[in-house]
Amino acid sequence: MNLDDNICYCYHVSMRKLVNFARRERLVRASQMSNCLGAGTGCGWCIPILQKIHQQVCVEQQGQAESGEGAQSPEIRGLPDSAADYGEARKKYLKSDAKHQF
């Protein structure tokens, strides 16, 4: 997935918006990601991804503090390869009582 793909389909919040929000606000808890345009407060599908973004940005910021280097695009591990795969998995999630697959 790339930075312009939507992570929160309910509120149309892209990964770029979420990453920039997490960097700018220096969030303490992953739950604070919901302050970015309501991400994660609709169907709940994107909550595990919001947690991964928060975790990766925290690691990135810790590394920057130690090395003094600037921000780079974070590699969020555990995401589907494409936005289409992510969207299909969300459709299955909404139709079932299954837990998240990421």
pLDDT in tens, 44-80: 999 999 999 999 999 988 887 776 666 666 678 788 8
Nearest-angstrom CA–CA distance, 45 and 39: 10
For residues 75 and 59, the answer to whether their CB atoms sit within 8 Å is no
Domain boundaries, the chain: 6-95
Q: What is the pTM of this model?
A: 0.83
Per the structure block, which two tokens stand in for 42?
A: 């609709």
